[in-house]
Amino acid sequence: DTEVTQTPKHLVMGMTNKKSLKCEQHMGHRAMYWYKQKAKKPPELMFVYSYEKLSINESVPSRFSPECPNSSLLNLHLHALQPEDSALYLCASSQDYRDSSYGANVLTFGAGSRLTVL
C-alpha cells in the first residue's frame, strides 16, 4: 500500500461548526504533515508530526488543531474557521522527518480535502 488516504474529499462548514479532516497511511512512515493550498498557489506547511509527536507548528492559528492518535493516522480538527480558511488541505507522509545523510525523505501526498467555509 503506497497511498495516503484523506477523508472527506469535500467539506462545507459554517463558521460556528466543528469538523475534522482525517488522513491515513499504511506505509510504515513515521512522519506526517499537514499542508494548506490556496487556489493557484503552492502548498504551505502547517504542521509536522514525527513519531506521533508534534515537531513543527508553522504559527498556525489555534482554530486548527492537529492530532496524531497513532503512527498511521493524522487528524486536523477545525473550529470557528473563517471564510479565508477555505482551501485544499493536503496530508503527506515520509519515512522519517529528521535530516538524512542519504538525501531528503520523499513526501507522499494524499489527494486532499477541499474545505469551503461559509
Partner 1 sequence: GNSVTQMEGPVTLSEEAFLTINCTYTATGYPSLFWYVQYPGEGLQLLLKATKADDKGSNKGFEATYRKETTSFHLEKGSVQVSDSAVYFCALHYGNNRLAFGKGNQVVVIP
Rule CB under 8 A: which residues touch partner 1? 4, 6, 31, 40-43, 45, 48, 55-56, 90, 92, 94, 96-99, 102-112
In angstroms, what CA-CA distances link 81 with 53, 65, 95, 112?
24, 11, 31, 18
What is the smallest separation between the CB atom of 57 and partner 1, expressed in angstroms?
Answer: 13
| ω into 69 cis (within 30 of 0) | no
Name the residue nearer to partner 1 (CB basis): 43 or 66.
43
Nearer to partner 1 (CB atom), residue 18 or residue 98: 98
**Alpha helix segments (H runs only) across 1-118:** none
Least separation in angstroms between residue 55's CB and partner 1 is: 7
